[in-house]
Structure 1
Amino acid sequence: MTSSEPTSTRRRLRSGAPAVALLLVGLVTGLPLGGCSIPVSDMPLLGVSDDQEKDSNGYLAVNALPTGREEKAMEPGERSKLESELIATRERQTAAAAAAAGATASASAAK
C-alpha cells in the first residue's frame, strides 16, 4: 500500500484479513477431518439397527449367500440342443458376413 491510498481502503483490507485467515484455517482443519466422518445412516442415535437391511437396491451384501435353487438350472439334453442351435447360428452369421465382404470387394473392384 502506498501513502496515496485513502485510509478507508487500508482499513477494509486489514479488516478482511482475519476473516480470510479464519476461513483458511477452517478449510485446512476441516478437510482432513471430513474424511474421518461416518455416514449419517450409520449413527446409532438415529435408530438404525444392524438387523435392518441397509442396501435398498436389491443386491446381496458381500458376506451374504444366495438361497439355493429349487429346480435344476438346465437338463443335459436341453443344454446340448441349445449349444447346437447357437453353433448353427454362428456359422450362418459367419457365412453371411463372408458373403457381404465378398460382395463389397467385388463391387469396389468393378469401379
Structure 2
Amino acid sequence: MEPCSSPPLLSLGTATTSLSPHPKPIPTPTNTRLAAYYWFLVPGDVFNDYASLADEINEWWWFYDGVLINTSPMGGTLIARGYINGNIPHTGFPLVNLYAHFTY
C-alpha cells in the first residue's frame, strides 16, 4: 500500500491567525478596588455613609428585614442615591440608585 499523496480538500493557505490548543491567558486587572460611593437617603437628601454598592445593598437588606434591594427601578421604591463625591449641593447626577422591592 502506498501512502496517500493527494492534496488536502481544504487548504487555509497562509493565515495570519493560528489555532492553538492553548489560548492566550486573560490579563488580570491591576485595579481590584471596589468603587465606593457617598450614599444619600431619599427623600431628604441626607448623607448616610460612604460604602461600596455591595455593602450598601447588604445594609439595606438587613434594615428592611430581607426585602429585595437592587438597582432596578422596575416595581421598586427609590431609597438611596450613590454619588461619586460628597458635595452638597451635588455637582453631578447620582451614579447609582438603590430601590427596595416591597411585596405586600
Q: Which has the higher helix share?
A: 1
The structure having more radius of gyration, on CA atoms, is 1
TM-score by length of 1: 0.24
TM-score by length of 2: 0.25
